[in-house]
Structures are given as structure tokens and as C-alpha cells.
């Protein structure tokens, strides 16, 4: 997706930087090339890393999929 297609407060599937699998979460902040996402769910393999990041991750816009 492009930056202008991603809306604050909406839920998306995306691939956070440094994570192995896709997560689902709400966009809480937008930057030039990426967005901050509050994660609602993730795969078990990334759960420990997510907890260390207090459920907040950064993902590039090109990894975002349709709003859920």
C-alpha cells in the first residue's frame, strides 16, 4: 500500500521490521516511509519480541495489506 492509503486508527495486516511473520494491528502514528502499529495479534514465533516492544512496532507501508 501507499502512505496515503493507510489511515490512522484503522487495523491492517503488516510485516513489522525485524519480525518473521505478519501481525495485525492498529495504526497509531504515520511517518514518511513507515507507520507505528499497536499490535493486536501475532504469531507465537514473534510473541517474545513483541512483548519486549510493548506491543508497538514499526512497519513499512509496502508491507501493509487490506484493512480488516
Chain mean pLDDT for the chain: 95
- Three-state SS for 17-52 is CCCCCCEEEEEEEECCCEEEEEEEECCHHHHHHHHH
Residue 10 is assigned to a structural domain of this protein: yes
Residue 68 is assigned to a structural domain of this protein: no
Residue 14 is assigned to a structural domain of this protein: yes
Total domain count, the chain:
1
Q: What is the CATH number of the domain that holds 19?
A: 2.30.30
Where residue 66 falls among pLDDT bands split at 50, 70, 90? confident
Which domain does 14 fall in, by range? 3-63
- Name the phi and psi angles at 17, rounded to 5: -60, 125
Residue 2, pLDDT > 90, answer yes
Residue 43, pLDDT > 70, answer yes
Where residue 68 falls among pLDDT bands split at 50, 70, 90? low
Q: Quick one: pLDDT at residue 67?
A: 67
- Name the phi and psi angles at 60, rounded to 5: -70, 145
Residue 50 is assigned to a structural domain of this protein: yes
Residue 45 is assigned to a structural domain of this protein: yes
Amino acid at each position: 500500500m501507499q502512505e496515503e492509503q493507510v489511515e490512522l486508527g484503522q487495523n491492517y495486516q503488516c510485516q513489522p521490521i525485524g519480525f518473521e511473520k505478519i501481525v495485525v494491528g492498529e495504526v497509531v502514528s504515520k511517518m514518511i516511509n513507515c507507520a507505528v502499529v499497536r499490535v493486536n495479534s501475532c504469531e507465537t514465533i514473534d510473541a517474545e519480541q513483541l512483548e519486549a516492544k510493548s506491543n508497538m512496532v514499526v512497519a513499512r507501508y509496502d508491507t501493509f495489506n487490506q484493512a480488516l
